[in-house]
Amino acid sequence: MKAKLKTIEGSVVAPLGFRASGVFCDIKRLGTGKGSDKGQKRDLTLIVSDVPCSVAGMFTTNQICAAPVKVCVSRVAKGIAQAVVVNSGNANACTGKQGMKDALAMVRLTEKALGLKDGYALVGSTGRIGVAMPFDNVKAGIAAAAPLLGRSEAHAAHSVEAIMTSDTRPKQVAVELKLGGKTVRIGGMCKGAGMIQPGMSATGARPAALPAGLHATMLGFVTTDAAISAKALQAALRETVAHSFNRITVDGDMSTNDTVLVLANGLAGNAKITSAKHEDFAAFAAALQHVCLELAKMIVRDGEGVHRVVTVRVTGARSVADADAAARAVANSALVKTSWHGGDPNWGRIIDAIGYSAATVVESKVDIGYSAPGSRKILWSLQRGQPTKATFKQLCAAAAPKEFDLHIRLNLGKGEALMYAADLTEHYVEFNKGDVTDPTTLGG
């Protein structure tokens, strides 16, 4: 049974007891202004709860892992936190011992500024890799952000602006639902547009069977006033991320900094969800899934240079791992992605990518078709390995919309997987080649 969800305003400050702020402290050292009032994008966010929270997190499985991720992995393991400090403009990745000192100093300064217990602040960073943090700027940012905390729409807007890098749009959503007669709220914001193919686990450790090429910096921060234990929250988040953030790809590159954090402060007053077996767990988990999936899809739609979004749905694989491998091969193929950009259905490139994936494929069994998003009215281009009578014009019409679903049936078993994928455009290349004469254009 799915709980009824109602979309509400307010992003991360929609749940009771959460405040946020976002300021400009010139982390990129542009040196061209002194605050967002001078037209500069904000670059440091604080989110804080009035009371300590249960916390859960999922982190990049990249072996090269940024200092803020390492700090969060060990703190989230304790299950309790109260605030998050986030900066954009510098990833604090590949910054060695100094990077770790800086990440720890960020959480300590935040705890001090907000009057929190030691260990209660978490940290996220995104931006260029391998550049030392401009720590004086960060320090000034935290000092400036702390007195500005609040719960208005402007506070939500400032905090989401400050985590954006190449994002062209803020990404935020909030919902409310009833749990045992009490109104519970979940709010979230995220950033990410390039270096996007998250493969997150609860500890940052790689699972034994790592799908080939799991690879954004994507940062996601979710708040809720639900009462839920850290263990139950982690269980809900693990399943949620597997079906949201870990199903997206913009460019196939997994970041050093991917992080999703959820803080639950219990102020809604619902009966505390203490495990996955609790009667309200499923409804809460479904709502969390809704929030994370909406955020994840926003990342793909706002991906660097993205013109078209394609949901790649693989069914009938021998295993889930096979379905995942086939879906990722298609979703990350340069030739498939450029054909999508051109509005070219090109199933030849699609079946080529399936064929070189790690999935078992039998040419004479493969079906490939196109539909509107979520529709079951599929126009098949290939059935059992043979071109159908669909005309090139019909297939082009099916691949023309800004969003469509690509259906791939391997007809070998019951394994299923999907990926939210994007086209590859000249704008992606132009943006990411940057301009070496102006290093501030060079992304992480």
Subset of 314-343 contacting its own copies (CB under 8 A): 333-335, 338-339, 341-343
Exactly one of 210, 243, 271, 373 binds its own copies (CB under 8 A); that residue is 210
Piece of the chain touching its own copies by CB under 8 A; list 7-15, 25-33, 155-163, 384-392? 384-392
Piece of the chain touching its own copies by CB under 8 A; list 22-30, 122-130, 225-233, 268-276? 122-130
CA dihedral sign, ordered 329, 334, 339, 340: positive
| 100 forms part of the interface with its own copies (CB under 8 A) | no
Distance CA 273, CA 306 (A): 40
Site for its own copies in 126-185 (CB under 8 A): 128-130
Q: Tell me how far CA of residue 342 lies from CA of 305, 336, 401, 419, 425, in angstroms.
A: 13, 10, 11, 20, 9
| CB distance 225 to 200 below 8 Å | no
| CB distance 64 to 58 below 8 Å | no
Distance CA 409, CA 322 (A): 12
| 248 forms part of the interface with its own copies (CB under 8 A) | no
| CB distance 240 to 356 below 8 Å | no
Site for its own copies in 385-444 (CB under 8 A): 385-387, 392, 396, 424-426, 428-430, 432-436, 439, 442-444
Write each residue from 342 to 381 as x if it is in contact with its own copies (CB under 8 A), else as -, in one continuous string: xxx-xxxx-xxxxxx-x-xxxxx-x---------------
Mapped onto helix, strand or coil, the DSSP state of residue 227 is: coil
- Least separation in angstroms between CB 26 and its own copies: 19
Exactly one of 253, 302, 324, 405 binds its own copies (CB under 8 A); that residue is 253
Q: Is position 217 annotated as part of the catalytic site?
A: yes
| CB distance 14 to 8 below 8 Å | yes
Give 15 or 252: the residue with its C-beta nearer to its own copies. 252
Give 152 or 386: the residue with its C-beta nearer to its own copies. 386
Piece of the chain touching its own copies by CB under 8 A; list 32-40, 107-115, 175-183, 383-391? 383-391
Exactly one of 195, 230, 235, 418 binds its own copies (CB under 8 A); that residue is 195
Distance between first and last Cα of the chain = 42
| 251 forms part of the interface with its own copies (CB under 8 A) | yes
Residues making up the chain, counted from first to last = 444
Distance CA 442, CA 438 (A): 8
Choose, from 126, 217, 240, 256, the residue flagged as catalytic: 217
Q: Tell me how far CA of residue 293 lies from CA of 51, 239, 345, in angstroms.
A: 27, 12, 26
Catalytic residues: 217
